[in-house]
Structure 1
Amino acid sequence: MNMEQGILLESGTNELEVVEFHIGENKYGINVIKVKEIIMPAPVTVIPHAHPYIEGLIQLRGEVLPVVNMRKVLGLPPQENPENDKFIVSEFNQQKVVFHVDNVTQIHRFSWDRIEKPSDMYTGKASHIVGVVKQDSGMILMLDYERMIAEINPETSIRVEDVKKLGKRERSSKRIVLAEDSALLRGLLHDTLSEAGYVQTVFFENGKEAYDYLAGFVQEGKNIADEVQMVITDIEMPQMDGHHLTKKIKEDVALKVLPVIIFSSLITDSLRHKGESVGADAQISKPEINRLILAVDEKAL
């Protein structure tokens, strides 16, 4: 199944399409935007001393790609009957990764506001689950794929050390609103932005909370430019995604003065038009934290 026909969804509608796959008894989802194609399992070359999640390497049309065994990620034993196994070839964070799953079943379309944040009571800090979609046929669990890759190779994640390469920075009084659903990335962004001098950052877990915060200043009759000087947003978030958040800000008479930077693993040449269509002032791919900071330097009010 080749997914390169392009996503038909209009930008900013707060909708997404999800590929449903199975691991054990559970159903999981991955954003169609992340998926390049779905293939039958190919011969895997095992790499000695690789990370436990890594099954090995495959060669696909001249490219050598790592295979992540999703059963190992989720702490499950090997599949007893692998006849339905599939490889999901994905691309995000400027890299391609193959996910080995038990089966791929269908594609769903629904609104981000149907994705609920999982409770810490049943997920815990070590969980890879970032969202839950309730359906009559059961739940679809949304996973933090960026976190998986960061655990396998921390060099591909956001690092404070990279910010230090920018040299000595002055402390800034500018207030930044940042929407990011991953707790791991919120922590990394807090540390890196603070190292860059931006210590007045207010974090939210999704676009809806960020928008409500901004709209609150308008409702109080305040000039938004006096309260907030920049918005940074991820794209994939429960309740309201980053494209929809950007669109709502840019269509609001009082809020549209705010610069919005989309900082996401989904920024690619083929998808950049989506951010442009909703009025984003800049789009930067994770984990390019230095480019993000330089864009904040340039565009913050």
Structure 2
Amino acid sequence: MSGVLASVDQRTKLVGENRLELLMFQLGTRHTFAINVFKVKEVTGVPTMNQMPGSHQNLNGVTIYRGHTIPIIDLRQAIKMRAGAATYKPENVIITEYNRSVQGFLIGNVMSIVNTSWQDIQPPPKSIGKANYLTAITQINIEGKKEIVEIIDVEKVLADIIEYDTSISENILDRDVVSQFSGRKVLIVDDSGTARKQMRDVLEQLGLKIIECTNGGEALALLKDWADLGKNITDELLLMFTDAEMPEMDGYRLTAEIRDDSRLSSLFIALNTSLSGSFNEAMVRKVGCDRLISKFQPDMLVDVVQQRMRELL
């Protein structure tokens, strides 16, 4: 099953070009689901698992992966698919790395990997409500037929299982700097409502005002509208946190577009991503981000905003 995944070098070439690869799979129905290949470490058969008494209902158990114990999550149950497919039995496990943690997701049939553009990926309709577990939707040509592919919000799936702590360590706070935050605004750009809420819950403790956008295209339009009105971007915003992977326009392209616009180029930009590794650091330097932090680290968020505030004092 490891042959399903191309080399890491080949996949990383897509990042920064507003493109991505999706691993498509099914969960016992005709629906096609997907996650970004860049988050996938391996696809394997269903391993031997030990159930843990008192564990979360979405956890099937734990297994040993490359010398480490990892949780195995029943993805069908986690996204609250309706009852049905009584004969469904998981066939594979996707081993993923999100937010500096490794976990496996039980899935059904692995279909294929497709190369596509973030421009062709759209947010889910607002009419489906906030309780859904989708971060985006796209259409892919499968066997000569256009099929809807639903991209899963893995951060929301994990947040249902892991209780994220949004408290700030007292020793990280610089009270002289924090006293300057009143009235200052921070722009958060992320397609995951869960990720935006986690960041908002941290930054609002500092007295900061939060503006939210759900993708790079929406954020760029907002910033350009302000510039067209003659607003000074550094007067409007203390800084911007952006995710890397988003529908329509990813965080790398968003950063590059901002740096190419003289009216916006002075904006302080921090890439806040669940991706990790030396490649991501190279992309940050290439497009001109000021900071790179991995999700979800409240103290690091605070460190970034304090750093930016010190530069302005």
Partner of 1:58: 63
Rounded Cα–Cα distance in structure 1 between residues aligned with 2:86 and 2:249: 36
Mapping of residues 1-301 of structure 1, within 5 Å = 1=2, 3=5, 5-6=8-9, 7-25=11-29, 26-76=31-81, 80=87, 82=89, 85-122=91-128, 124-135=129-140, 136-154=145-163, 157=164, 159-162=165-168, 166-167=172-173, 169-170=178-179, 171-199=181-209, 201-300=210-309, 301=312
Q: In 1, are the aligned partners of 2:12 and 2:38 still within 8 Å (CA)?
A: no
Rounded Cα–Cα distance in structure 1 between residues aligned with 2:57 and 2:171: 32
Q: 50-59 or 288-297, which moves further after superposition?
A: 288-297
Q: TM-score, normalised by structure 1?
A: 0.90
Rounded Cα–Cα distance in structure 1 between residues aligned with 2:25 and 2:183: 46
State the Cα RMSD in Å: 2.1
Write the letter of the residue equivalent to 1:64: T
Q: Which runs of 4+ in 1 moved over 6 A?
A: none
Q: 127-136 or 139-148, which moves further after superposition?
A: 127-136
Deviation of the 1:10 alpha carbon = 4.3
Q: In 1, are the aligned partners of 2:58 and 2:78 still within 8 Å (CA)?
A: yes
Sequence identity of aligned pairs in percent?
Answer: 27
Give aligned pairs, total. Answer: 295
Rounded Cα–Cα distance in structure 2 between residues aligned with 1:139 and 1:252: 35
Q: Secondary structure at the match of 2:183?
A: strand
Deviations 1:252-293 (A, max 9, x none): 222111111011111334532222221111010111121122
Deviation of the 1:91 alpha carbon = 0.6
Deviation of the 1:23 alpha carbon = 0.9
Cα distance, 1:142–1:163 mapped onto 2, change above 3 Å: farther
Rounded Cα–Cα distance in structure 1 between residues aligned with 2:67 and 2:197: 37
- Return 5+ residue gaps in structure 2 as ranges: none
Q: TM-score, normalised by structure 2?
A: 0.87
Deviation of the 1:163 alpha carbon = 5.5
Cα distance, 1:44–1:208 mapped onto 2, change above 3 Å: same
Q: 184-193 or 17-26, which moves further after superposition?
A: 184-193
Rounded Cα–Cα distance in structure 2 between residues aligned with 1:63 and 1:252: 46
Q: Secondary structure at the match of 1:141?
A: strand
Deviation of the 1:98 alpha carbon = 0.4
Rounded Cα–Cα distance in structure 1 between residues aligned with 2:54 and 2:115: 40
Rounded Cα–Cα distance in structure 1 between residues aligned with 2:277 and 2:58: 26
Deviation of the 1:164 alpha carbon = 5.5
Rounded Cα–Cα distance in structure 2 between residues aligned with 1:215 and 1:39: 46
Write the letter of the residue equivalent to 1:226: D
